[in-house]
Amino acid sequence: MRIAVLDSGPEQLKLINKTMAALGHECHMYTEGRALLQSLRRQTFDLLILDWRLSDIKGLDVVKTIRQELKSRLPILFVTNKSEEADMVEGLNGGADDFMAKPIRAGELEARVNALLRRSYPSKHEAELVFGPYHFYPPSRLLRVHGRPVELKNREYELALFLFQNLGRLLSREHLHEAVWGLGVEALSRSLDTHVSRLRTKLDLRPANGFLLLAIYGLGYRLETIEANTLHSTPSR
């Protein structure tokens, strides 16, 4: 998973990064709220771990901007001092999904992140995923469309599964690159576009099958059901 971490303290960032890396997650570190909010206008993440006391703006203002202005449902875990119960109540009421008290304990952080990800992305933990005529079997990396197996290369399969698991969600190009190619692996921009083009053809992503794969100009891609299609209001190419 792609996780954003916002904390003013370098030691906290180091601990969180180490704990998340051990779980196989990719962490992107921020020390200022404004820098994170700027990134969120062009980037997407699966989870945000947020320190409530920041150096530039209030943690609550970060959450409110994410929920109200950016209209994002990004799962948010915020961290606060034990004595600051008011922050906990205010944060949860303001849109955060969970909280934990300082000092951060690696075991508790791991458990809370896992629980929040299970609640937010339940389809990622199933042996079979069904989306209309598309049936994914992650353990065997098999995909059937209308009952027929579709042959996909490894990265094509990973990209297809990731898109369907995040149905209706805008995914930035960087997010897709990390999910399919991994962090630190250089992937040419055209490579992503080529994989998307192949999936459109191989999976026959068209209205008759109930899905459209949209390119959102300058941002990334979004796989939508026809019923949730917003082509009329979203710039695409």
Domains of the chain, with CATH numbers?
Answer: 2-120 (3.40.50.2300), 125-228 (1.10.10.10)
pLDDT at 35 over 60: yes
Q: Coil, strand, or helix at residue 212?
A: strand
Given this model, what pLDDT does residue 206 score? 84
DSSP state, residue 125: G
Decide: residue 208, CB within 10 A, 0-12 exposed, 13-18 middle, 19+ buried: exposed
**156: part of which helix (H) or strand (E)?**
helix 154-165
pLDDT at 13 over 50: yes
Question: Residues 163-192: what's their mean pLDDT?
Answer: 82
pTM of the model: 0.75
Given this model, what pLDDT does residue 30 score? 96
- Looking up tokens 């954003």, which residue turns up? 4
| pLDDT (tens digit per residue) in 45-71 | 999 999 988 889 988 899 999 999 999
Q: Coil, strand, or helix at residue 218?
A: coil
Q: How confident is the model at residue 83 (pLDDT cuts 50, 70, 90)?
A: low
Given this model, what pLDDT does residue 88 score? 79
End-to-end CA distance of the chain: 27
| pLDDT (tens digit per residue) in 203-215 | 999 888 899 999 9
Q: Coil, strand, or helix at residue 195?
A: helix
Q: What is the DSSP code string of 55-95? A: SSS-HHHHHHIIIIIS-----EEEEEETT-HHHHHHHHHHT
